[in-house]
Amino acid sequence: MALTVGFDLDMTLLDTRPGIKATYDVLSAETGVRIDSDLAVSRLGPPLLREIAEWFPTDRVEAVADRYRELYPVHAVPRTLVLPGALEALRAVRERGGRVAVITGKYEPNARLHLEQAALPVDVLVGDLWAETKGDALREHGASIYVGDHLGDIVGARAAGAVAVGVATGPYGAAELAEAGADVVLADLTGFPAWLAGHCG
């Protein structure tokens, strides 16, 4: 079976914090509800609805999340940065004849905009997934490796029986990722091509 490697998006391939902060700030101004955007971007990973529910009553969460997603392409996508080593990591998979699958918790149309803006070459994109549900997509697409920055990404890799590669570019340090069960922990994606070469032999 051909090699397929899954990657998370936020804080694994892309630093989306500046744009997400800006989007929350606009949302706060529109709604008149205080949102601590610095706090929100410090805990990226879980589903959007969970974060919105921290600031809005239950009966408003769905509508506010929809508005956030509408604001996102204008305020978040242009401010996003490609993390060090991201392009090289994807190329390393491709150079081995492999496929790149981005499995993310982000709303899929906005995730696609990110990938297009950053010119990141991927073969599969699946959005709106978190933790164990990422495992479902990884299995469906035959991914044997999943790379992510969050403890939920390790859960997803484990659920799929994939090698869990943690990158310490998000909210968790190397020790926390290892303690949570990552098979491999890298400081960032610059070390991924060499690791992949050793892993594949």
103 membership: H or E segment, kind and range: strand 99-103
Q: Please tell me the predicted confidence (pLDDT) of residue 99.
A: 98
Residue 46 has pLDDT above 90, yes or no: yes
154 and 181 Cβ atoms separated by less than 8 Å: yes
Q: Could you read off the pLDDT of 135-189 as tens digits, one per residue? A: 999 999 999 999 999 999 999 999 999 999 999 999 999 999 999 999 999 999 9
Angle at 87 between CA 173 and CA 122, to 5 degrees: 105
Residue 201 has pLDDT above 90, yes or no: no
Q: Please tell me the predicted confidence (pLDDT) of residue 124.
A: 98
Please provide the average confidence, as pLDDT, over all residues in the chain.
97
Q: Please tell me the predicted confidence (pLDDT) of residue 55.
A: 98
Q: Could you read off the pLDDT of 77-129 as tens digits, one per residue? A: 999 999 999 999 999 999 999 999 999 999 999 999 999 999 999 999 999 99
Confidence of residue 43 (pLDDT cuts 50, 70, 90): very high
Residue 1 has pLDDT above 90, yes or no: no
Q: At what angle do helices 86-95 and 192-200 cross, to 10 degrees?
A: 20
**Structural domains of the chain, ranges and CATH numbers in brackets:** 4-15+81-200 (3.40.50.1000), 17-79 (1.10.150)
Whole-number Å distance between alpha carbons of 178 and 159: 17
